[in-house]
Amino acid sequence: MNPTHREPWIRIARRDSIAAWHGWLIRLAGLLLALLVSAVVIYLIVRLNPIKVYSAMFEGNFGTNRRMWVTFRDIAMLLCIGIGLAPAFKMRFWNIGAEGQVLVGGIATAAVMIYCGKFMPTWALLIASLLASLVAGAVWGGIPAAFKARYGTNETLFTLMMNYVAIQLTSYFVAVWENPFGSNTVGIINQRTQTGWFPPLLGQKYMLNVLLVLVLTVAMFVYLRYSKHGYEIAVVGESNKTARYIGISVKRVLIRTMMLSGAVCGLAGFIAVAGASHTISTSTAGGSGFTAIIVAWLAKFNTFVMVLVAGLLVFLEKGAIQIASQYNLNDYASQMITGIILFFILGSEFFTRYRVIFRGRKGGR
């Protein structure tokens, strides 16, 4: 019966809008704070010089030419899946099935490399496996969309379960293509001839991976922002009612966009198999299909921002591995550091959207 008479000590209010420079200032502050806090943690727990630890992380990513290109390759892979997820998420279609879409793209690529590798030249193999992976991914993405359009099924569960189907399918093909017999792996496909592998460009093994994904980054940005399809996706994502009101067929956009999303994820499988590992296993996607969800959302579907986010995630992962091995730390210590950094960077997003008002302060920003 007696509400307090004092103003609350702390209040949180939504920001109406925020200037771009102000947002980036907050994010930069978050990054600096993250480095500061983890420096203290590093010093207190493992008694190491934080500066050295940070430079070791950098070493782990860019220390040698080879390492640098592996980093680029991994960023490209994660980014590619993120780009694939962008149109689905922009349409508010919860595609949790990138993992499976990558795998079926990988299976299709491996199949082309294995069955056609003997009589087709590399350029033809690349085109054939590119197309096969696109189609496989499109089908894998299109199935849950078609069910949603037709029967209103829940796409989150559906795409998630499709992942497990894809994993089982991969196990099956690993058994079929087992090489050498009894190894329970496919082995390196076309190891001697290297047919169907990405050729080195400008002397770099992974140049083609990076170039392909960069082209996709620009293309998807333009598609989502300037094309009629992109506009339809935005309208369907915001309101199905509005879409129907202006005569957009929601079902068609749903299926078309999910086929595109699946196709780009399938393409990531193509890059992973033909451009990186040259083999296929159940861990070909390796969880990237889930990590890419973070990439897509943090960047708010802006593919250029995704480059930064994917870069950060890969950098932290590789850095953690490096300090773990260089200083003989156990995994937990290095993961703690990446955890702290991620926490602050994600946390700074909160402050770009809300402001905190302390008692006695005027409500200004």
Partner 1 sequence: MQSGTAAVSMRDIVKAFGPVVANDKVDLDIFSGEILALLGENGSGKTTLMNILSGIYYPDAGHVSVNGREVSIRSPKDVYDLGIGMVHQHFKLVDVLTAAENIILGMPGEGNLDMKAVGRKILDICALYGFSVDPGQKVYDMSVSQKQTVEIVKVLYRGAKILILDEPTAVLTPQETEKLFRVLRNMKNDGKAIVLITHKLHEVEEISDRVAVLRRGKNAGELVTKNTDAAEMTNMMVGRAVTLNIARPEPKDPKPRIVVDRLTLRDEEGIIKLNEVSFTAYSGEVLGIAGISGCGQKELLETIAGLHPLKSGSVTYIKPETGEKIDMAGLDPREIFSLGVMLSFVPEDRLGMGLVGNMDLTNNMMLRSFRRGKSVFTDRKTPRNLARSVVDELSVNTPGLTTPVRRLSGGNVQKVLVGREISSSPTVLMTAYAVRGLDINSSYTIYDLINQQKEKGVAVIFVGEDLDVLLELCDRILVLCGGRVSGIVAGRGADKNEVGLMMTKHGKETTHESDA
CB of 239 to partner 1, least distance (A): 6
Q: What value does the CA radius of gyration of the chain take, rounded to a whole number of Å?
A: 23
| Least distance between partner 1 and beta carbon 361 (Å) | 10
The secondary structure of residue 236, as a DSSP letter, is H
Q: Which of 113, 137, 142 minimizes the C-alpha distance to 125?
A: 113
Q: Is the peptide bond before 8 cis (omega within 30 degrees of 0)?
A: no
Q: Which is nearer to partner 1, 4 or 65 (CB)?
A: 4
What is the DSSP secondary-structure string of 299-365? TTT-HHHHHHHHHHHHHHHHHHHHHHHHTT--HHHHHHHHHHHHHHHHHHHHHHHEEEEETTS-S--
The span from the CA of 313 to the CA of 290, in Å, is 12
| CB 357, min distance to partner 1, A | 9
Judged by CB, which is closer to partner 1: 1, or 202?
1
With respect to partner 1, which residue has the nearer C-beta, 180 or 247?
247
C-beta of 203 vs 247, nearer to partner 1:
247
Measure the N-to-C terminal CA separation of the chain; round to a whole number of Å: 34
Report d(CA 109, CA 133) in Å as an integer: 6
Place of tokens 């199905």: 240
Rounded least distance, CB 51 to partner 1, Å: 41
Nearer to partner 1, 235 or 271 (CB): 235
Q: How far apart are CA 243 and CA 253, in angstroms?
A: 10
Interface positions with partner 1 (CB under 8 A) = 1-8, 11, 15-17, 226-231, 234-235, 238-239, 241-242, 244-249, 362-363
Least distance in Å: CB of 253 to partner 1? 13
Could you tell me the smallest distance in angstroms from the CB atom of residue 363 to partner 1? 4
> Could you tell me which residues are beta bridge partners of residue 12?
356
Compare residues 15 and 353 and give the one whose CB is closer to partner 1. Answer: 15
List CB contacts of 33: < 8 A, sequence separation 6 or more.
344
Query: What sign has the CA pseudo-torsion 250, 256, 261, 266?
Result: positive
Torsion of CA 325, 327, 328, 331, to 10 degrees: -70
The least distance separating partner 1 from the CB of residue 12, rounded to whole angstroms, comes to: 10
Nearer to partner 1, 20 or 202 (CB): 20
Nearer to partner 1, 74 or 232 (CB): 232
Closer CB to partner 1, residue 171 or residue 239? Answer: 239
Distance of alpha carbon 266 from alpha carbon 80, whole angstroms: 10
d(CA 52, CA 201): 35
The sign of the CA dihedral 292, 293, 297, 301 is: positive
Smallest distance, Å, CB 232 to partner 1? 8
